[in-house]
Amino acid sequence: MDKIVIAGGQRLRGEIQVSGAKNAALPLLASSLLSTGASTWHNVPNLNDVSTMGKLLRRLGCEVSSASDATADGQDTLIIHPYRVEKAGFTAPYELVKTMRASVLVLGPLAARYGRARVSLPGGCAIGARPIDMHLRALEAMGAQISLDHGYVDLSVPHGRLRGSNIVFDVPTVTGTENILMAAALARGRSVIENAAREPEVEELAIVLNKMGARIQGAGTAVIQVEGVEELHPIEHAILPDRIEAGTFLVAAAIAGDDVLVKDCRPEHLDAVMAKLRTSGVRMEIEEGGIRVFGNRDLDIQAVDVTTQPHPGFPTDMQAQFMVLACCAHGQSVIKETIFENRFMHVPELSRMGADIHIDGRVAIIRGRRPLAGATVMATDLRASASLVLAGLVAKGRTEVLRVYHLDRGYERIERKLRAIGAHIERVEA
């Protein structure tokens, strides 16, 4: 299995490009199931999770083809045509769902457009139990009949069409809101989703569905209103930049950079992350082309306390990366994880590199400025693996990050991007 090898201590300088957002691409590609023809998606990141979604959509009877895209900086274009979904059996099999929980995003579109779905239950994952009970309850409220059968969610819609409904989520759920948004777009009548997730990716999905002909208002706020329509038509759309990849590069630049431009990101999606970076003393400027970070050689970073929250709060997907910033900071930082119950798997690995981190339940206390030393490390999820790469950039000596497939799920060619701005980092094929 491939590994990433880093020789720490190099200064980063130059421009680093942000790719299309994984967590926008996944619901958007799934939304292709809703339309009457072939949709074209530009700026699709080249990630394992995206190819898993491609495989799943093929399995569900879509034609998925790629085209090289001259207009979007050489990044990938996918064309998805749901041309024979009725013949393909409406099944998202365990083999695919177990490799990517976001496979559950086909449930809403299948229920809405075809009135049938059989989707494997994802089960727990490394960062927490992550049930989908809120997705299922909302679909039931819209008239779907759901039973659990040998690990599968078996869904059918009597009379073929969901009905609009008032949905109140117990807590904001990102993929839950996305599933119900897609379901409501083609339901009969009006739906209101309360306590909806406000993440930019949810808003992007609503923009796209409206382009397809849906009637959605309020996405990006906690209350979304949807007037169901009869039909949605195919569109062409470029996926927004990945705010978590951008945030990861901001931290890299803050701890190891001299002058780095994180290119083509959307600063308005990074408010909470930038606010915390500023509190810790990192100097940044928003430019037309992105965010410029002026790192400082003396690593004059101050401790910073962080509590993860649903958007617009501080994202759980940046918690592990901020832990590395805290390791480099003067003083004691407190990081509290409120979204997932088991998202500190990077801590034992960072400790092996010399970090001083104490965990008490969902709180991590980090005493900064302990020298980090390169080591062989591995993590069991995507953002934890990204934090180990960041730690490797500032550690003394050689760091090997194993289980690179976690990184490949959510970061497009991270080693090439970091190498281009001066990191000594390479992928070693096993």
Q: Give residues in contact with ligand EPU (CB under 6 A).
A: 23, 26, 102, 128, 130-135, 171, 173-176, 197, 316-317, 339-340, 382-383, 410
* Nearer Cβ to ligand EPU (81/198): 198
Of 387, 401, 384, which is closest to residue 345 (Cα–Cα)? Answer: 384
- Cβ neighbours of residue 280 under 8 Å, at least 6 residues apart? 254, 301, 302, 303, 304, 325, 329
* Nearer Cβ to ligand EPU (38/107): 107
Known catalytic residue at 62: no
* Nearer Cβ to ligand EPU (249/340): 340
**Closest separation in Å from C-beta 132 to ligand EPU:** 5
Cα torsion for 144, 86, 175, 23, to the nearest 10°?
Answer: -170
CA distance 347 to 358: 9
* Nearer Cβ to ligand EPU (292/343): 343
Contact 383, 244 (CB under 8 A): yes
Of 343, 324, 413, 358, which is closest to residue 76 (Cα–Cα)? Answer: 413
Specify the 3-state DSSP secondary structure of 389. helix
3-state secondary structure 282-323: CEEEEECCEEEEECCCCCCCECCCEEECCCCCECHHHHHHHH
* Amino acid found at 99: T
Q: What are phi and psi of 262, to 5 degrees?
A: -85, 105
Active-site pick, 125, 265, 327, 328: 125
Strands 290-294 and 283-287: antiparallel
CA distance 183 to 108: 5
CA distance 233 to 241: 24
Cα torsion for 29, 224, 311, 17, to the nearest 10°?
Answer: 40
**Closest separation in Å from C-beta 200 to ligand EPU:** 11
**Closest separation in Å from C-beta 342 to ligand EPU:** 10
**Closest separation in Å from C-beta 42 to ligand EPU:** 20
DSSP state, 31?
H
**Closest separation in Å from C-beta 315 to ligand EPU:** 6
DSSP state, 90?
S
* Nearer Cβ to ligand EPU (12/274): 274
* Nearer Cβ to ligand EPU (373/378): 378
**Closest separation in Å from C-beta 208 to ligand EPU:** 15
Q: Which residues are catalytic?
A: 125
